[in-house]
Amino acid sequence: MSDQLAFPTIPADDSHPVADRFQHVVTVIRNVVNEVGSVIHSILTRVADFFRSVVESARQSDRDYDRAALLKIYRVRATWKKGDVKNLLGYPRLNVAAQRRIQRLRSLPSAGRPAVAPYLRLAKVVLAKLQNIAQLGAPNMPPHQRLAHLKQSMWWLYYVDALYRGEYLRRQGTPNASRTAEEIVAAALCISKDHLHRLRLGYRKRSGEAPSDAGLSLQEFEVWKQTGNIPK
């Protein structure tokens, strides 16, 4: 956008007062247009800067995600098998050492069962998580499928612990209240009691402290499974 817009000019002449007035009007209009153009240019520049920052943030997130994915498979490189080659080659920007190891794996006589998960792009992972969240509240979702989606969500460990707290507090003061609560909740979640115990302790360790609320009852949880009304 040019700094100044071209407007016609009329030489000042005392014998033409109308012409002078017209020139004054033209000058005022020119100044207003130039000022408005400057404001619009400033707005467009800010919008462009915003979108550039969004794009750069997305690229940085992709780089961080890929770096974490690579670090995860590098940590278990001693367990790579010939059967992992196809999945390994799907990872972006493998380092030279990894590429050499993959070449050696190709020469092995047997493939073995793959242990490395296929690479998934960050955008695909985010989309899958959003779709999973949507399924948690879908009214027509069968209860067993809704529970399966909960197990894949970020709230799974929270609800494991919340259900345990709800059942434990309801039985507090009775013999073996903790063990009984774990057995009942594990059965409701279709997992083993030992698995539930490990999940619950892991959640407490990560959260740093035991929650102070009363948890969630199995009755409330069953309503959610049947209707999709997420318990709060």
- From residue 116, alpha-carbon distances to 96, 111, 113, 125, 172 in Å are 18, 13, 9, 17, 44
More confident call, 58 vs 13: 58
- From residue 32, alpha-carbon distances to 5, 25, 40, 45 in Å are 11, 11, 12, 20
Indicate the residue type of 183.
E
CA 165 to chain centre: 28
DSSP code per residue over 90-155: TSTT--HHHHHHHHHHHTSS------SPPP--HHHHHHHHHHHHHHHT-TT--HHHHHHHHHTSTT
Contact 84, 66 (CB under 8 A): no
- Residue 187, CA atoms < 13 Å, CB-side half-sphere: 7
pLDDT of residue 5: 47
CA 115 to chain centre: 25
- Give per-residue pLDDT as tens, 67-99: 999 999 999 999 999 999 999 999 999 999 999
Instruction: Parse the chain into domains and list their residue ranges.
Output: 1-61, 76-106, 122-227
Owner of token pair 């999709």 = 228
Angle at 222 between CA 217 and CA 228, to 5 degrees: 115
DSSP-based three-state secondary structure for 219? helix
For the chain, percent of residues with pLDDT exceeding 70: 75
3-state secondary structure 29-77: HHHHHHHHHHHHHHHHHHHHHHHHHHHHHHHHHHHHHHHHHHHHHHHCH
Segment among 20-24, 116-120, 225-229 with least mean pLDDT = 20-24
- Give per-residue pLDDT as tens, 150-200: 888 888 998 899 999 999 988 888 888 899 999 999 999 999 999 999 999
pLDDT of residue 23: 64
pLDDT of residue 7: 44
pLDDT at 214 exceeding the cut of 50? yes
Contact 203, 157 (CB under 8 A): yes
Q: Which pairs count as long-range contacts for 202-210, CB under 8 Å and 24+ apart, including other chains?
A: 202/157, 203/157, 203/158, 203/160, 203/161, 204/161, 206/157
